[in-house]
Structure 1
Amino acid sequence: MASEEVFLSTEQIEPALRDQYWRDVTQPIADTTAVARRGGARLAGTLVSRMFGEMLLLRASFNAQEYRRDRRMIEQSSLDQYIVQFVQAGSLVGNFAGIDAQAHAGDIVVVDLGQSLSSRVDEGASFAVVVPRAELERATGGRNLHGEVLSANKGITHLLADYLVGMHRVAAHVSAPQAIVVQDALVMLLAAGLLGAPHAGGERISTQSDALRRRVVQYITHHLTDHDLGPESLIAHFRISRAHLYRVFEANGGVARFIRDHRLDLAYRALVDPRSSGQSIKEIALRHGFSSKDRFMHAVRQRFGVTVREIRMGDSKRKTIAHDLSCLHGHFARYAVPRKLSA
């Protein structure tokens, strides 16, 4: 099922059940409510989902709705990728972890599923792709992308919009190896557009803090498995105050959390990699910067909601969404309805 397109629509659901149906469909991403209007408000929408290599393609239409993604939902869903969304029709206004931003028809907006969000959309439609975090952050030098908007009046935005729409159109005819190349090209195009775009709201963080964050992220990436990597070593290396370091990573819950989560992401890949099957849990823990097996196992359970052994045995069906988008696609598939011929 993961490679097949699935179709979801409130139109084919009993009217009395539509609100709950759409809330259940969107639950892994956000708590969804209808925008209050005279005569009552009902949720309505359609969604098409398809796996595309390591990415997930989403095409949607919807009425006026509000979305909320808080820290509790972030922890429960474990989603931590980026959504790159082309606003085909309608508009979006939101607060992205403390920064106000808005996107209109023709714009492209980036949403970091690892950060909080409160937004409202008008009736409209969108093309979107969910992309892995590591590749996009590497291409943009660790820049905080949450709420970044590429304006419709920029040439690179038109190019990216055409590319996104084209991906959806040809997805059924692209092989897995080709999809990886397409993903790399998308990331590079997006990075090119973002590097020339102002921060959302024009005041996300200072230019100096932005540059510092890039340097710190690069340093963390290169020293992720070092056992002495932490706030103290970063403060000493970059000669900055603890308060300044925390402010730069405040949207991530602090630099210690940023390091821990990235270590866990790397360790997760080792746990599911058959080439690491001969390594003990303790060896994997120590190799990825954790001081003990017990600390590692507790951190895994806290972040992913399953045990290390369940991950190795392939039983972590509910909480592996962050590392296998086919699980999110599978969630949508459970709510699929037959597509009408006129759709």
Structure 2
Amino acid sequence: MNPLPRSTFDSRQLPLKHRYDAWRDSISVVFDYQLQASVPEEQFFASIDNVLFDDAFILSAFHAQAASYERNAARIAADSLDMIMLQFALEGPCQLLASRAQRQCRVGDIVIMDATQPIHNRNARERNITLSVSRQALKNLVKDIESSHLAVIAANEPAAVMLRSHLLALYGNLPQVAAASSPGVIDSTLALAAAALNAALGQATDDSPPLRQSLRARANLLIEQWLHQPAIPIERLAAAVPCSRTRLYALFADDGGVGRYIQRRRLQTAAARLMSARHRHLSITGIACASGFTNMSSFSRAFKLEFGITPRELRRQCANAPAASSNQHMTQGQTSRHYETWVRELLRTH
């Protein structure tokens, strides 16, 4: 399966004299950028690694020196960006400058920013993860989303813990997640983002749909991470979500139970690898083992029952399919600015 579209900009791969201007021009797709006076331009560096998930959101990992970022009324009117950004710092505090107040954000806090409203952030040397979501993707999940602008969810709040853990795991396992199921990951991520937004608005309850969705999203991600393991103990999964065993079973009731869901995801993952040119060097047994199966006879029977075709027949049908060109996607380590186009086309007002 092809990797997700990825675009990486790293100023350190450019000539020294062009680094600052190139970065300021690039980040201007969203913010007016100003390096803090304490940082000489000749020592400047910045990098941003972006991954596009269909028409739903962009996940970004950002690293830069002390600076300020601003969206004023003139810029908002000019670019018509219509997105919600959920961001947390891995390093360095952030200072939000509102019209009449200042707010300090600690490492791990979730900061919510609405691109249709003024933003002025002042950061120290910083590393952060940002989820930029189109308002359209969230409109049926969050009410009164505009009121969440510049809200901060404390790092130890359950909604912050779940979203932060999810995004870190998602970014750290992009090749595996992409090969498994991008649509499922999108739904899970949006559910967790909605839960965080509703928590910021004070609309979440212990049994609210967003909370159930966020718990299910967390369980889905953990299952994806553990699919290669022959056994996924229910007690371990429930503790990691976290929820009770009873609630975990209820979350998967529509899928025939958590055990049935895990088996289906194992089979879907194995099928994706059997069809992928990138995995043609692996034997069918190797693919089955990598998907968590330990018995080939049981794997073949379950596969035929699920898809109406044996693993060997599926691989034979796909054997002559042309391999996708690696030039269709940007890989980490290259310097590119495709994300600017993604922002303009995906996240602007339609």
TM-score (norm 1): 0.54
Matches within 5 A, 1:23-172: 23-37=24-38, 43-53=44-54, 54-96=56-98, 99-136=101-138, 138-143=140-145, 144-172=147-175
Distance 1:148 1:179 in 2: 25
Q: CA RMSD in A?
A: 2.8
The equivalent residue for 1:14 is: 15
SS of the equivalent of 1:193 reads helix
Q: For residues 76 and 321 of structure 1, do their structure 2 counterparts lie closer, same or farther at Cα, with a shift above 3 Å needed?
A: farther
Structure 2 unaligned spans of 5+: 204-339
Within-5 A mapping of 1:280-319: none
Shift of 1:140: 3.4
**Structure 1 residues 153, 20: CA separation in 2 closer, same or farther (over 3 Å shift)?**
same
Contact 2:92 / 2:127 at 8 angstroms: preserved in 1? yes
Deviations 1:26-71 (A, max 9, x none): 0011111110027667542111011013110100111101111112
d(CA) in 2 for partners of 1:130 and 1:29?
Answer: 11
Q: Is the 8 A contact 2:59 2:131 kept in 1?
A: yes
The code of the aligned residue for 1:190 comes to: A
Is the 1:97–1:115 contact (alpha carbons within 8 Å) kept by the matching residues of 2?
no
Contact 1:26–1:32 (Cα < 8 Å) also in 2: yes
The reply to whether residue 183 of structure 1 matches residue 189 of structure 2 is yes
Letter of the aligned partner of 2:128 in structure 1? S
Q: CA deviation at 1:135?
A: 4.3
Q: 1:182 to 1:93 in 2, by over 3 A?
A: same
What does 1:216-231 correspond to in 2, within 5 Å?
none
Whether the 8 Å CA contact 1:91–1:104 is kept in 2: the answer is: yes
CA–CA distance in structure 1, aligned partners of residues 103 and 32 of structure 2: 19
Alpha-carbon offset, residue 98 of structure 1: 5.1
Query: What is the DSSP-based 3-state SS (H/G/I as helix, E as strand, rest coil) of the residue aligned with 1:110?
Result: strand
Does the Cα contact within 8 Å between 2:134 and 2:346 map onto a contact in 1?
no
Cα drift, residue 125 of structure 1: 0.4
Give CA-to-partner distance per residue, 1:259-311, whole Å, 9 cap, x none. xxxxxxxxxxxxxxxxxxxxxxxxxxxxxxxxxxxxxxxxxxxxxxxxxxxxx
Q: CA deviation at 1:86?
A: 1.4
How big is the shift at 1:148?
0.7
Change (3 A) 1:9 1:189: same
Aligned residue identity for 1:48: D
Letter of the 2:115 partner, please give it.
Answer: L
**What runs of 5+ residues in structure 1 fail to find an aligned partner?**
198-317, 328-343
Quick check: 2:90–2:107 contact (8 Å CA) kept in 1?
yes
After TM superposition, give the deviation of residue 152 of structure 1 in Å.
Answer: 1.4
SS at match of 1:139: coil
CA contact (8 A) 2:61 2:130 kept: yes
Amino acid at match of 1:191: L
- The 3-state SS of whatever aligns with 1:115 is coil
Q: Percent identity?
A: 21
CA distance in 2, matches of 1:158, 1:190: 10
CA offsets 1:216-266 (integer angstroms, 9 cap, x no match)? xxxxxxxxxxxxxxxxxxxxxxxxxxxxxxxxxxxxxxxxxxxxxxxxxxx
Counterpart CA distance in 2 for 1:320 and 1:22 is 17
Structure 1 residues 39 and 121: CA distance shift in structure 2, 3 A: closer
Residue pair 1:47, 1:60 contacting (<8 A) in 2 also:
yes
Q: Which amino acid in 1 is paired with 2:82? A: D
What amino acid does structure 2 have at the position aligned with 1:104? R
Aligned residues of 1:49 and 1:59 also touching (Cα < 8 A): yes
Give the CA deviation at 1:193. 2.8
The alpha carbon displacement at 1:196 in A equals: 3.8
Residues of 2 paired with 1:59 and 1:319: CA distance?
A: 17
Whole-angstrom distance in 1 between the partners of 2:39 and 2:143: 47
In structure 2, distance between residues paired with 1:184 and 1:38:
37
Code of the aligned partner of 1:17: H
Please state how far the C-alpha of 1:158 moved relative to its aligned partner.
1.6
**What TM-score do you get using the length of structure 2 for normalisation?**
0.53
Q: 1:72 to 1:60 in 2, by over 3 A?
A: same
Aligned to 1:324: 346
C-alpha separation between the residues in 1 aligned to 2:67 and 2:141? 32
Distance 1:139 1:46 in 2: 32
Whole-angstrom CA distance in 2 between matches of 1:118 and 1:160: 24
